[in-house]
Each structure stands twice: as C-alpha cells, then as structure tokens.
Chains A and B, each alone.
Chain A
Amino acid sequence: MENMRDAFGKVLTELAANRDDFVVLDADVAGGTGTYHFREAYPDRFIQCGIAEQNMFSMAAGLAESGVIPIVTCYAVFASMRALEQARNSIAYPEFNVKIAASHLGLDVGPDGATHQALEDIAIYRSIPRMSVVSPADPIELKAVMPYLLDNTGPLYLRTGRSPLPNVFDENTAIEHGKAHVLCEGEDVTIMAVGVMVHRALEAAEQLAKEGIFCRVLNMSWLKPMDEEAVIKAAQETGAIVTCEDHNKYGGLGGAVMEIVCENHPVPVKRVAVEDIFGASGEPEDLAKEYGLMPRNIVDAVKQVLKHK
C-alpha cells in the first residue's frame, strides 16, 4: 500500500520531467506533505516559504501572474484556516491559477492530535466561490488526476492525505475526472464516500451484500463542483443515502449531498462523520474505531437509514 503523500510527491516529480509549467511551494513541511521527493529531484523548482502560510498563499498568486502554476503545499488545518482568507482574497476572488494541495486530513493525521486534525476543511473550501475541491480516493486516482488539474485553469483545493491507502481503482481503469465514480452497483441504498472512507465503504457494502442488502457505492472525490446528476440519480434509483467522511458532520460531503437531495429529490440521508467534537492523538485505525468511522459504523448507518426509506 502506498501512502498518499508519497504518491503526491512522486507524481509531481514524474510530471516535472515532461512539463516545466509548475513550481512547488512549501511551508517547512516537505517531509510531511511528500514534496521532499520533488525537492530532491528539482531543487530550483521548489520554493521554500518558511512557516508563513499567509505570505505563501498570497505570494503564490503573484507567481501565478508571472506565468507559472504554483502548487502550494501544507497541512489541511493551516490551508483551511490560517491561510483561508488569503486563499479567498488573493487566489479565488482575483481568480489566479493556484493549486492548493493539503495533506494531513481528518483523524487520519493520527498521533499529532487535535491541533493538526482538520475536520472542517471540506465545509470551508466548498463555501469559497471560484474554488474547486477534489479529494482522490487512492494513490491511483491521485496520480491520474494531477495532470488534469494542471491542464485546467482555476483555483483549486486538492486533498491528498497521509496514511497508506488500499487501492480502490485498478491501475488500468480510465478514470473520468469531474464525475462521481460508481465502484459497486446496487439498488437498495447508496453509500457516498470520500478519501480514506471510500475503501471502508466498499468493505461495508461487501458485508451488507452477505445480508442481502445491495449497495451502490460512489466515490465522491469531486466535492466541488459535485456531480449533482449522480447524486440525484442515486436518490431516485436507490431511495436512501449514507455519506461517509473523515470530517465533522457540518457542511462536508454529508452537507453537500443533503443540499442537492433536499432540493431535488428528498430521501433519507444519514451521515457517517465525526461529531461536534475535536480529535485526539492515537493511531488512525484506533481513532476511527473510537470516533465511529469504521466499516461497521457504515453498516449500522445503512440499516438505520433503510428504516426511514
């Protein structure tokens, strides 16, 4: 299993061999974000900005104006909070082509604990106009989407990750960017998941199938713009939805799905997410058990939502 930050660092390094249109910015966390791979290979395209995220974000807009694509990297909690206003006012509002890539998402951050566990970043970045939000499910999708993100202009927030993740995609699958991916078909309920929760959703679906409940599983890597058609179709065709995210329950994937479903085709929706509490130190798997983000929690949520169908 490859971890998401190494996958990120490596794909940037691979791409750099054939395209010179981007530079990588760091805030003294290259070891954590995976960009140390890139720094070793292309030191002159790696710009160290120091532990000064606000300057890094606004400065990146200036670099973008000069004709390069800056990939701004740091941890999600700092990208979504410390430098958010800069993302909004320096990058999104004037519409500069800057890609913000954040690692260290949710409880998956693990031992560093609550100050570093970003549980709000999807909700926050979704609310900024002119900003796209993408959160790949595995290293394969991350590597596949990277050139697409560079080739398409516009401010972007990319969520990479931290821990090793099992592949949910096959190396040879052509992944359609911008769409929700149907990883498993079913008509009883739809499980929509993002990031680290996607492989857990697939596990839950497998368990439920043994009990005669057949789930459609959607990978919701495109959080904004979201594939509304797929969401509405899921509501119409399966009649019940469970959303899964390593994020708190306010305004993340769950909120986004509820917005679409309530306005278009109301069906019962249940969120598997972190409650209105902060994280804590621990191994990611132990935290997932403690905070209710395991496959069995998804199974329970499916059974609950089916009662209201």
Chain B
Amino acid sequence: MNCHAGSGHPGGSLSCVEIISWLYAKEMNYCVENKDDPCRDRFILSKGHSCLSLYAALAEKGFFSKEEFKTLRHAGGMLQGHPDRLKTPGVEFNSGSLGQGFSFALGCALGAKRAGRACRTYALLGDGELNEGQIWEGCMFGAHFNLDNFVAIVDYNKLQSDDLNTKITAIEPMTDKFKAFGWHVIEIDGHDFREIENGFTRARAMAGKPTVIIAHTVKGKGVSYMENVPKWHGSLCPTGEDRECAMRECGCEELI
C-alpha cells in the first residue's frame, strides 16, 4: 500500500500491527454485519496517520477488497491519507488531527453509557499525540464521567516525527501522569499477543475508571532498516531493493 502510494506513514503503522490485529480479530464485537448497530464495539485510530494498519485490518474483515490498496492517497481513491468515515467502509472517525479521535471516542463511550448499552470503545493513541493539550482535557473528562467502558492504548514506540519523545517534551513519567488523572494504567509489550490479550482482559475487569494500556513498541517493527529510525515516520516509502527487503522480512515475498 505504502509503495503504491509513494508516501504514507510506515513506521508508526508497523508499531501497532499486533494491537490492531488483536482488536479486530479477537477483542471487539465489530464486523461488516453489525457496523451500523449502536451496540457494536468501536475502534478509533486517533493516531490517524497510521491508517495503513487500519486499512489492512478492515480489508481482512471484508469491509472492502484488497484491490483498493492501490488507491491509497491517490485522487478519487477510497483510501484517504488519513481515515475518512464517509469514503471508507468500517472507519468510525476522520482522525488525523491528533487528539480529536480520543475525544470523539470518549463521546462514543459517554453516549453508550447514557443509553445503557454494554458496548466498549477503544482508541489507539500515538505517544507524540500525548503532547496535545486536548488529550489531557479528555483524560480529566474520562475520569470524571467514570468511563469504564473505554480503553485507550498508547502506541509507545518512543519516537515522534522530529525526534525521540523525550527530546521533544517532558512526556515521562507517562504512567504517573495517567494515574494522577484518575485512569487505571496497564503496561504491556505491544508486540506480544499474550500480553495484549491479558491487558484487555484486565481492562474489562476495571469498574469505575477508564483504562489506558501503555504498549511498549518498536517503530518500524518487522523491517530491519526501519526499526527505531525517525525518518520512517512519514511521507516515505521504500523503493527498489529496500522494498524487496521489507516484503521479505514481513513474510510477503509473493507480493514483490
């Protein structure tokens, strides 16, 4: 997808593949058949730039054909550079402007609680996204309204667009910050399915507080030359030999 488009955000899409896979494959009650049911579970990719993974998951679930991958970021295509709920089946929110997907998701959770529905809402955040003030407005809101039907996941790959998170601003201590804002905090290895499953199970058991799962991940995970390298954040795609190498390392030789 990334290569067809000639641009995209590979690094941060690779770091959350396992989390997104688990959510759509196992955790959530969400599929093509119930996509308009108010009682469905909802996933909001608040770090909307990592939509490569979202689109891959939605295609796997049957929301659209993998043929659409070729249209990513192209004029007239179904797959926009950041998710668009009006153009792409399966997308809940037009994320991309950091912080807003999180607040939107909190609104979904509050709406569900007010309507007495048992559904759950999940929002995947970037670590750089936590720089935005709106996130902390949302955190106060989520705790105040006891949104225990809500789980935020932070894709903590330690890198944002320009540099390491810790070189940009005082993001640490992350766990303490969320606890101070009244959230239940779980830390996991974001590439380990057992820890992912365990994290969501523990989140379900928490009553009275929203949960944040801080997932420690590697940006560019799975492609050796991308791992932890800042330039693979965005607007790049591998070409030539690099492309072939990436495909092989991800187990997609047949697509080369």
In the complex, residue of chain A having the shortest beta-carbon distance to the beta carbon of B119: A66
A59 touching B115, Cβ below 8 Å: no
When each residue 62-96 of chain A gets 1 if its CB lies under 8 Å from chain B and 0 otherwise, what string results?
11111110000000000000000110011001110
Contact status of A55 and B106, CB under 8 A, knowing A67-B115, A89-B96, A94-B86? yes
> Which residues of chain B have C-beta atoms less than 8 A from A67's C-beta?
38, 111, 115
Known A-B contacts A52-B140, A94-B86; A66 and B96 likewise in contact (beta carbons under 8 Å): no
Say whether A60 faces chain B, with CB atoms less than 8 Å apart.
yes
Contact B100 A90 (CB under 8 A): yes
B156 at the interface (CB under 8 A from A): no
A146 to B195, CA, bound (A): 51
State A95–B133 Cα separation when bound (angstroms).
24
**Interface size bracket, A side:** 20 to 34
Chain A residue with Cβ nearest B106:
A59
CA distance A62 to B141 in the complex (A): 13
A interface: dominant SS: helix
Q: What is the size, in residues, of chain B's interface with A at 8 Å between Cβ atoms? A: 32
Kindly supply a per-residue 1/0 record for chain B positions 79-123, scoring 1 wherever the CB is within 8 Å of any chain A CB and 0 otherwise: 000001110000011101101111111111111101100000000
Q: How far is the CA of A50 from the CA of B136 in the complex (A)?
A: 12
B220 within 8 A of A: no
A50-B103 Cα distance, complex, nearest whole Å = 14
A59 touches B92 (CB 8 A): no
Q: Which residues of chain A come closer than 8 Å to B101, judged between CB atoms? A: 58
Question: In the complex, are the beta carbons of A61 and B134 less than 8 A apart?
Answer: no
Interface of B is mostly: helix
Query: Which residues from 182 to 199 on chain B have a C-beta closer than 8 Å to any C-beta of chain A?
Result: none
B contact residues around A59 at 8 Å (CB): 103-104, 106-107, 110, 138, 141
B94 to chain A, nearest CB (A): 4
A149 at the binding interface (Cβ < 8 Å):
no
How far, in whole Å, are A187 and B38 apart by their CA atoms in the complex?
55
Q: How far is the CA of A47 from the CA of B114 in the complex (A)?
A: 11
The answer to whether A50 touches B141 (Cβ under 8 A) is yes
B99 to chain A, nearest CB (A): 7
- Nearest to A59 among chain B residues (CB) is B107
Contact of B253 with A by CB under 8 A: no
List B contacts of A55 (CB < 8 A).
103, 106, 134, 137-138, 141
- Interface set, chain A 18-52, CB cutoff 8 A to B: 47, 49-50, 52
Tell whether A62 pairs with B109 under 8 Å between CB atoms, given A54-B134, A55-B137, A90-B103: yes
Whole-angstrom CA separation of A64 from B110 in the bound complex: 11
Interchain CB contact under 8 A, A61 and B107: yes
Partner of A54, one of B96, B103, B110: B103
Digit string of B118-155 for contact with A (CB within 8 Å is 1, else 0)? 00000000000000011001101100100000000000
Question: Which residues of chain A are within 8 angstroms of B96 by Cβ–Cβ distance?
Answer: 89
From B91, which residue of chain A is reached at the shortest CB distance?
A: A94
- Closest chain A residue to B112 by CB distance? A66
Given contacts A58-B103, A86-B100, A89-B97, 7 further A-B contacts (CB under 8 A): A50-B137, A55-B103, A58-B101, A62-B106, A66-B112, A66-B115, A94-B86
Chain A residues proximal to chain B, CB less than 8 Å: 47, 49-50, 52, 54-55, 57-68, 85-86, 89-90, 93-95
- A-B residue pairs, 4 tightest by C-beta: A62-B107, A66-B111, A58-B103, A52-B137
